[in-house]
Amino acid sequence: MIYPEGFLWGTSTSAHQVEGQNVHNDWWDFERRFTPSGAACAFWEHFEADLDRARALGTNAFRMSLEWSRVEPAPGARDEEAAAHYERILLACRERGLRPILTLSQFTLPRWCAAAGGWLSDETLVAFERHARWVGERYGDLVDHFVTVNEPNVQGGAGYVSGVFAPGTRFRPDLADRCEDALVRAHVAAYRALHEAVARRHPAARIAVGPSPHVIAWRKSPWDPLGVFLRLGARFNWRFVDAVVASAPETLDFLGMNYFMGSPAHLMGALRIAGLAARPMKAGTSEMGWPIDAKGFEEALLDAHRRYGRPIVVTENGIADSTDALRPAFLRDHLAALDRAIRAGARVRGYCHWSLVDNFEWHEGYGPRFGLYAVDYATQERTLRPSGELYRRLIEERTTKELVR
Ligand code: BGC
């Protein structure tokens, strides 16, 4: 088999995008400029049924994030009910044979951290390290894969250049870099705190910890004859991981990777992706205007492998496609690219499709639909899309004999 024993086949979600009523974080205030997230997918209440759905896809892993502001709504104040609720969710994953991949930070911060200066403040870093230690103590026997920070390379630019993410500051690339540098420190501190806490509190448990950068398959292109965007793109992809490897190489048990797109076909496309221009739809792109590029997925995996040689977990890959017209081919082509990358030597240990259900797409609100299950937000009903059934079959094929070398 080309897929190693224990390969993680999963779907991916994040707390603020599915749970609903995350009233104590910075996005709850920020999103009023766009679309309030409100009840989102009511995953907080209906997690059992959604985990049944994940199970029905034949997956054995489930990626979710823990909303820090729920368990620590005020500095040092623990919400025990929320903490116990997360324990119930993680147990429900395990009961269904879904190994949880738990993310500590996916774009939101408790409001009190944001008020102290967000990631630009040392107070946040100190609090995040303390939080990671608590998470390790509390859940270290239920979770074996932790993602410290999701898309640290997006957070800075979206928060401080385009301003489409909280805190909504624009045109401050200096602050974007400072934010990314702070997230390097946050990752290293959380990595150490998690391992230390788990070794002390759950000595029998074995955990793997890594970050999940967003990686784009940038290529040479006629509209970029001097390769300026190519260089900026490589910086975007790897600046964070390079800094981790330079300062604390032991803190990468695995490299998470979120892959959605290839190089934009023109300068406007690049500006749109960066949130700096509006977004009309184009053929060959998703409903987000993101260029579909399965070959680029293979290249990105091999690029990461050559650069760092670490085990890789694909923590997100998916497409905004409300009619499910493009997703089936997207899935087939991207999993074929994954097959090729593994055959060529990339040490991929898992693949999680973004997303299990349609959900709150940040500043884009509820328009883009990434789910293998469609959500009717008026009734919270879910409907399996044909691509969900296809994903189940593609996983099945890969766990039977067809892919024997
Ligand atoms: C993020 C998710 C987001 C997805 C689709 C990633 O950039 O980690 O939170 O919903 O892509 O845009």
pLDDT of residue 274: 86
Q: Among 376, 385, 383, 388, which Cα is nearest to 39's?
A: 376
How many whole angstroms from 371 Cα to the centroid of ligand 1? Answer: 12
Ligand 1 pocket, mutate which of 287, 362, 366, 372 (most atoms under 8 A from CB): 362
pLDDT of residue 270: 86
Ligand 1 pocket, mutate which of 257, 316, 355, 359 (most atoms under 8 A from CB): 316
How many whole angstroms from 107 Cα to the centroid of ligand 1? Answer: 10
- The tens-digit pLDDT sequence of the chain (405 residues) is 689 889 999 999 999 999 999 999 999 999 999 999 999 999 999 999 999 999 999 999 999 999 999 999 999 999 999 999 999 999 999 999 999 999 999 999 999 999 999 999 999 999 999 999 999 999 999 999 999 999 999 999 999 999 999 999 999 999 999 999 999 999 999 999 999 999 999 999 999 999 999 999 999 888 899 999 999 999 999 999 999 999 999 999 999 999 999 988 888 888 888 888 876 656 677 888 899 999 999 999 999 999 999 999 999 999 999 999 999 999 999 999 999 999 999 999 999 999 999 999 999 999 999 999 999 999 999 999 999 999 999 999 999 754 443
Strand partners, 176: none
How many whole angstroms from 317 Cα to the centroid of ligand 1? Answer: 9
Give the residue, by CA position, lying nearest to ligand 1 atom 1. 151
Pocket of ligand 1 (CB under 6 A): 14, 17, 106, 150-151, 154, 214, 258, 316, 354, 361, 370
- 341 touches 34 (CB < 8 A): no
Give the residue, by CA position, lying nearest to ligand 1 atom 5. 361
pLDDT of residue 210: 99
In sequence order, which residues have a C-beta less than 8 Å from that of residue 232 and are 6 or more positions away? none
How many whole angstroms from 404 Cα to the centroid of ligand 1? Answer: 33
pLDDT of residue 404: 40
How many whole angstroms from 214 Cα to the centroid of ligand 1? Answer: 9
How many whole angstroms from 365 Cα to the centroid of ligand 1? Answer: 12
How many whole angstroms from 174 Cα to the centroid of ligand 1? Answer: 23
Strand partners, 8: 350
Which ligand 1 atom is at minimum distance from the Cα of 362?
Answer: 10
Which ligand 1 atom is at minimum distance from the Cα of 288?
Answer: 12
Q: Among 369, 397, 395, 396, which Cα is nearest to 383's?
A: 369
Full-model pTM: 0.97
Q: Among 106, 107, 144, which Cα is nearest to 254's?
A: 144
The verdict on whether omega for the bond into residue 355 sits within 30 degrees of 0, i.e. cis, is yes
How many whole angstroms from 38 Cα to the centroid of ligand 1? Answer: 18
* DSSP string covering 106-155: SS--BHHHHHTTGGGSHHHHHHHHHHHHHHHHHHTTT-SEEEEEE-HHHH
Q: Where are the alpha helices (DSSP H) in 60-115?
A: 68-71, 80-95, 111-115
Strand partners, 10: 61, 352
